Amino acid sequence: MDQQTTIRIPFRLTGPGLHTGRTVTVLVRPAAVNFGIAFRRTDRVNIITQHATADKVGSTARGTTLGFGRHSIATIEHLMSALHGMRIDNALIEPDGGEIPILDGSARPWLQQLQRVGTVQLDAPRKFFELKEPIHFEYGPTGSVYDIEPDDHFSVECTIEFADSVIGRQQAVLNSFDEYADQIAPSRTFVFLHEVEPLLHLNLIKGGSLDNALVFVNKELGTRQLKRLEKTFHKDASQFKVHDGLLNTTDLYFPNEPARHKLLDFLGDIRLVGYMIKGHFKVYKPGHKANNSFAKYLMNYIQTKL
């Protein structure tokens, strides 16, 4: 029988938040049996521990935010994905601000630290939920569809579909957690160029850059737009290169990197169910809001079966 795990020793990572742009240091600590994954902001006078469960999510606007108001913690999905990918059951996460750093836009920096400090087994069995029947869930507003078939382990097929041809329809697969480190964790977050300015007007992505996000472009850039990009990304216009619809100084790590990143996000969001799940997931057009709705549905479903 699989045993619960935690990390062997604490570690810290520091970086700016994607949306606030503020520098935050995150301390990740070991935790005891049955503690689960929890967050608490250390920059508050009254420190509140918030367990990372889907029903505690306060916002899904361009990321997953745990909690509400002054104690909320934004953009937890990449760290949660790395914890899920490493099959870590118990950990206490202490940021000194309201957003988990974006780092390079993937889960790889978190995964590398988790691999560096290592994990230890605890004296208690892992909390599994083993599916006995198929589950089907649809989230109408975005056309997202989630299916789970019974299986003896966890696996995911993820399909994304954008009308914009620079991404279009893509698929990504995680057959087992053994593939996570190499095939999923490095995949970076992405955005379309036409979304950047509206997000800035919403006071979001202040910490976004070409170093931590893939920016896709679906039309030729004019002189006026290049000037705006200089201001937005603090780079000279000569540094902007568009190659295969990608505005970056780097190439894609994988031809289907956007689909892999959506799978990465899904792994982080579905970890908020609170159980390791045995089942084969087929996910169509996932997004944080749809993922959270599905995770809450799954939490309720599991409670009826226990």
User: What would you measure as the largest C-alpha separation in the chain, in angstroms?
Assistant: 63
Which single residue is written with the structure tokens 């995150």? 26
280 is catalytic: no
The answer to whether the beta carbons of residues 230 and 237 sit under 8 Å apart is: yes
- In angstroms, what CA-CA distances link 292 with 26, 53, 265? 23, 10, 11
Backbone angles phi, psi at 282, to 5 degrees: -120, 115
Q: Are strands 57-59 and 135-139 parallel, antiparallel or unpaired?
A: unpaired
d(CA 241, CA 236): 11
Residue 281: partners with Cβ closer than 8 Å, 6 or more residues away? 146, 147, 148, 154, 155, 156, 157, 266, 270
Measured torsion, CA atoms of residues 219, 222, 228, 231, in degrees rounded to the nearest 10: 100
Question: What is the number of residues in the chain?
Answer: 306
The answer to whether the beta carbons of residues 77 and 268 sit under 8 Å apart is: yes
d(CA 37, CA 50): 9
Of the residues 78, 261, 280, 288, only one is catalytic, namely 288
| Strands (E) located in 97-134 | 119-125, 128-130
Residue 92: partners with Cβ closer than 8 Å, 6 or more residues away? 28, 29, 30, 31, 35, 38, 39, 40, 49
| Strands (E) located in 81-183 | 91-95, 119-125, 128-130, 135-139, 144-149, 154-161, 169-174
Catalytic positions: 288
